Amino acid sequence: MNPQGQYPYGAQPNPYGNRQPPPPMRPQRDMTQPFAIVIGVVLVLFMVVGELIRHIAAHPQGHSSIVVGPTRSLGPGVTWHKVDLPGGDGTRTLWVYLPSSPATAKVPCIFIAPAGSSCLDGMKLAEGDRPEHLPYVRAGYAVVAYSLDGDFSDRASAASEVHAIESFRDAHAGLDNERAAVDYAIANIPQIDTKRLYAAGHSSAGTMALLAAENDRRLVGCIAYAPRCDVSSELDKDEREALTSRIDGFDQFLSNCSPSTKATSIRCPVFLFHAADDETIPTGDVEGFASKLKTADSSVTYCHVASGGHYDSMIDDGIPQAINWLQGGMPTTPDLPVTSTTPPSTDGAS
């Protein structure tokens, strides 16, 4: 400071003395976005862990081994238990029914898949399937019902439909499930007669029964109620093109799903059943398949009724006639008209 009390060169005093001034304050970071990301990651991990815990609780063996449930009675002369098998997409379940019989007696066995799919995807077993199982057991047959990979019963989305179809395709249109069921029964159910194994099914499960008869020589008879024989006929041009563009090898898979593709390879006797007022499966589809079998000199019985619709006719007329056919030695009757015991269907899908 000069004598006049002024700072030279216009300099100003340093309010910090000899200390350096603090650096300028940095702007505060917005933590809202990173916090939201962390919360999102935590929620995803929570859902994944929850699903893993649910899966482990449902399948304590982790699908690495066979899980056999407890046996319970389903009425006089019928026992039932559930079996979970490893493999597939986690839906390989068996329902095993056994009739009461002498300890030394061997009983024939029926293998049956759940009905109600599009024939391009799979199905889980459900309580509503039991009316198709129990009549055989009460007639003295063992029954092994098996689920099909690629369940799409929830009809959740187009993406889940593609996943279901791919799972069913990878299981060779359900043949892997059928073979696993037969393998298990032969190895683990001593009560069954391994020389009397039959495939049976209604609607899409009838389609599965025919595919099994075409490919599994261990089966000595096949029963198909109102089966879809030409699966490709169910799709229009746009549906087929859309699925072909989204699913690898779809055209070949579609051919593999259709029993009509390899009809002449069936070597065992076949019992076909259909109702004239069935609005779900055309009469021509079933009769056309029967004609293919007759042309190939296969043993086929075509049983048909006038009424009863898609479902009731099978329960009321089809199953009793099929059991009579089995117990009578599976005779060949190319044309077997039967008087309907159910009234005409009002919706075709009763």
Residue-wise pLDDT tens digits, 132-171: 999 999 999 999 999 999 998 776 678 888 999 999 999 9
Residue-wise pLDDT tens digits, 286-345: 999 999 999 888 899 999 999 999 999 999 999 999 999 999 999 999 999 999 888 886
- Look at residue 9 and tell me whether its pLDDT is greater than 70: no
- Angle in degrees, CA 51, 53, 59, rounded to 5: 100
In this prediction, what percent of the chain has a pLDDT beyond 70? Answer: 79
Residue-wise pLDDT tens digits, 259-268: 999 999 999 9
- Look at residue 43 and tell me whether its pLDDT is greater than 90: no
Residues 6+ apart with CB under 8 A from 157: none
- Look at residue 57 and tell me whether its pLDDT is greater than 80: no
In this prediction, what percent of the chain has a pLDDT beyond 90? Answer: 68
- Look at residue 174 and tell me whether its pLDDT is greater than 90: yes
| Residue 155 buriedness (CB in 10 A; 0-12 / 13-18 / 19+) | exposed
Residue spans of beta strands (DSSP E) within 174-242: 192-202, 221-225
Residue 59: band (very low, low, confident or very high) from pLDDT cuts 50, 70, 90: very low
Residue 26: band (very low, low, confident or very high) from pLDDT cuts 50, 70, 90: low
pLDDT at 45: 60
pLDDT at 90: 75
Q: What mean pLDDT is predicted for residues 228-247?
A: 91
Residue 51: band (very low, low, confident or very high) from pLDDT cuts 50, 70, 90: very low
- Please give the Cα distance from 4 to 7 (Å, whole number): 9
pLDDT at 53: 42
Residue 283: band (very low, low, confident or very high) from pLDDT cuts 50, 70, 90: very high
Q: What mean pLDDT is predicted for residues 87-104?
A: 85
Domains and CATH numbers, the chain: 66-337 (3.40.50.1820)
pTM: 0.80
**Mean pLDDT computed over every residue of the chain:** 86
CA end-to-end span of the chain, whole Å?
110
